Amino acid sequence: MTEIAIQNDRLVELFTTLCRINSPPREERAVVEYVKGFLRGLGLELREDNAAHAVGGNANNLVATLPANIAGAPRIFFSAHFDTVEPNPNLNIIIQDGVIRTDGTSILGADDKAGMSAILEAIRIVVENNLPHGQIQLLLTVCEEIGLRGARALDLSLVDSDFGFVYDTGPPIGTVITQTPTHDTMHVRLIGKPAHAGVEPEKGISAIQMAARAISQMKLGRIDAETTANIGSIRGGQATNVVCPEVVVAAEARSLNRQKVEAQVAHMTQLFEQAAQEFGGQAIIEIDRHYEGYTLTENDLPVQVVRRALSRIGLDAPMRPTGGGSDANIFIARGLPCCVVGTAHQKIHTHEEFVLIDDLARSVDLTLAIIQEVAAMR
């Protein structure tokens, strides 16, 4: 593959255009249409699934296919997600000294539009220069930020790839996530009994007291090097003169070790049930396996390809575990081998989010190098 100089101005224009399209979860239609137009202009075959119905949104996942122009190479995919963690309809982008950020009043949306723009620009370069490549699919998902819902709903009959790369973690560029936790969520209803708090409080059963008793005894936060747990929200109560009859608690536990997450959930469950029993109330607990963890090594093919591609362009990046999840967790669980690859977004999910233009360009270089490595595998 001939070395291609990245056109930074064009790349920045693509990235900032994507960021300026407001696309919170369930409202991604405008950015999906923009990307469809971009890829249609490059001659890719476009298919949408029916994810909008499953996620309760206005947009589907998009699967775009660039047919191979050489024979015998593995079929690969690149993936990123359309949605941002929160709306940013009044986005004010500031570009200064090689850094792209906002004025601090909103997120930038670089999670995951930095990953998406690197993929799109690389595909544009491949098509414009007729570079040799095997079949390449783009799996572009909705509703990643609210539970990987788009990936869960992806119609796998549209996917025809051997393995792939999910662009959805931060620098250094090319970082490979080798281990992620198993993540369980808990929905807990603590049911007591209402009574007038000033006239006959002894006839009531306070769900708030039940919650307080249970939570005060729980191991929470950092449990050990592999395990965390958290109480995310508590809702309940109507007025100070009513003994609170019901509280709803949202909680979670994660661990790189599946047995540890199950033990932590059992610990939390036991304390909620004990507190309810002590006060004469009831605990109704629903536990959901949010996603399964995975472990990759240097022997896994997607990891091998990324490491060789990094070497080809003179970069090095760590292989590391993470405490979070991504669409890759769902893809791997559904039988699509892949790895998460570091891209340009930094300080994600905050109004301090930013991107270095040099990192954006390196992401494109890496994507082209991955395509080159795969083409050489025929």
Active site residues: 83, 144
Q: How far apart are CA 323 and CA 341, in angstroms?
A: 15
Spatial contact of 306 and 271, defined as CB atoms under 8 Å apart: no
The angle subtended at Cα 34 by Cα 8 and Cα 24, nearest 5°, is 95
- Give yes or no for a contact between 128 and 368, defined as CB atoms under 8 angstroms apart: no
State the amino acid at position 326 in one-letter form: S
Secondary structure class of 365 (helix, strand, coil): helix
Run of H or E residues at 266: helix 258-279
Distance of CA 128 to the CA centre of its chain: 30
Closest CA to 200 of 241, 247, 246, 245: 241
Q: Collapsing DSSP states into helix, strand and coil, what is residue 87? A: coil
Q: Is the peptide bond before 172 cis (omega within 30 degrees of 0)?
A: yes
Which helix (H) or strand (E) segment holds residue 308: the answer is: helix 301-312
